[in-house]
Chains A and B, each alone.
Chain A
């Protein structure tokens, strides 16, 4: 099967102008491919740049070199050089992201926060809300919280809102940054189940997972991130 996501020689160095132009190399020539049905887990010690890889693929970080190819509407697009609106279109339809933080407009009820990615793809309001409710129910978020904005939720509750947002639309490619970090065993099992279903449907996933149990349950392959020699 052809990969859905290919990273080729991606390099990233942060230049901190406020610290006298200090240069911090984070990635140097990283490459891997993720095929449909695969969940590739990034491995390496903390600080090695695993989250940077996810952010670079999502477009929140730029890369200095290399290519990030993603299958979008049947064609491969290089996210490293794509125009902002192409990246936005990829995010709308193809690329989902479960980050460690929930960043949403204050005051918006949780069920609408979750339905938003569906609405953005042009889905009608009622079916979108219906789908959002069924996911929240599955992730065992108490029903009394659905119409409350998530700002005051606990870490675990916010994480489940984040997961619901990423699973509400069948993204062909998903990035997961510690999706089970703040969850108890029961909720972790549900997330594992959701991920497996989506993999069976042909999604390609790239994940950061320190949680050994979850990793054993969903990882199909590991990619080791080597530290970059900071002296260069």
Chain B
């Protein structure tokens, strides 16, 4: 760890401020808590909110995993991991099972999380009502009064135009029967994992200066219609690498001849399965 930085980059007062905001967020599941977002040494959209949350919860004994779209080896994940190795000197890992803090962009790991783990989401737009109501004052009031009729309008529009709910990312949820929340742009495939999760889930939006949380074992429902119930994505083929039939698949172009491969987006999950297959061979 470089001596030029305070532990985990942020100064202690800033971390205290963030922790207070996070405690409030945990106390009111799904409620967006404002915080004084700091300038970070990377641009907005690269995970400034997630990094500040991670910095605030990270301890010296933590083991950090960072994923971007499920992968540990993408630029964003690699840089953030390097950032905390440098500024906090914590151990890092690519293994979901070993990590105590996982910062993620756009996915929840396939392997079920366990108690004691913290999942930190990077959030671009925290306000699920924004597309309907651009005025922040009004959306806060709508949350305060649980005035959520407008939220179903988006789903209505989907079904009216496409015959089904086509929203497949950032699919809105209701947390603990009270607040409607944007789960960040995770695929709706991951929505069921939000529900009754043993791990603590924290969400950080740097540009918009908001944090929110789902405490362990909280009820999280995806909004839907009785005659158009919530459904997750399915694929008609298994992962081309590990053969998994129940994980979220990415389509990868493999050559210039239009060759394509469908494989797990969660690289750690996929590798673990292949390792096990190798051992069994």
Touch A–B, Cβ below 8 Å: no
User: Which residues of B come within 8 Å of A, CB atoms?
Assistant: none
User: Which residues of A come within 8 Å of B, CB atoms?
Assistant: none
